[in-house]
Amino acid sequence: MRSRFRGFAEFTLIGESFAGEGPNAAHVNVVIGRKGGPVETAWATSLATPRAGYIPFLTVLRPNLPVKPMTLFVNKADLRGDVHSQLTWGPAQAGVAAGVTQAVDEGLIPGDEVDFVLAIVAVWVDWAADDAGLVFANNRAATRDAIAAAVRGEPRVDDVVAEMDRPWNAFYRDLQD
């Protein structure tokens, strides 16, 4: 598989993915870019400026073992209560770590590039989430798939235009099919 990192190293890559269903589903946005560029500025700024309910942190496979490329976990849903906080910092974060590592293992992000790029992963954990195993699995799948979309430049514009009259998401569905 060809990576857009080779020959296009100055481009910022952006991807999105949704996995699962119900309150344990995962919605992930990914931004990947070279160190020394605008992604590094956004990465460092976000890490240095937490705010009430939103605490960006370094993604780790386990304590003292951050993933490569260095990945900033940013929660999109404000932290609400102990259960939601634990699901965000625990299984959602672990799922992101596993998804990033899987993407490297599969060559989506070349292993020889991981020290030269940074990733930001914005993660939605529903306040009603209640299954740690599903939160982990869905965030792993969504992270890996968002990285794949970013690296491959997906979706193609033709695919987006073909769907313009049929928008839907977990909170809205136009039933005029």
Domains in the chain: ranges and CATH: 13-160 (3.30.230.60)
The overall average pLDDT reported for the chain is: 91
> The pTM is what?
0.91
pLDDT category of residue 175 using cuts at 50, 70 and 90: low
> What's the Cα-to-Cα distance from 112 to each of 6, 69, 142, rounded to whole Å?
11, 10, 23
Give CA separation, 127 vs 27, 83, 121, 124, 132, in Å.
13, 9, 19, 9, 13
State mean pLDDT over 140-166: 95
User: How long a stretch of residues is the chain?
Assistant: 177
d(CA 27, CA 17): 6
Can you tell me the mean pLDDT for 135-155? Answer: 96
Residue 2: pLDDT band by 50, 70, 90 thresholds?
very low
Active site residues: 27
Mean predicted confidence (pLDDT) in 109-121: 94
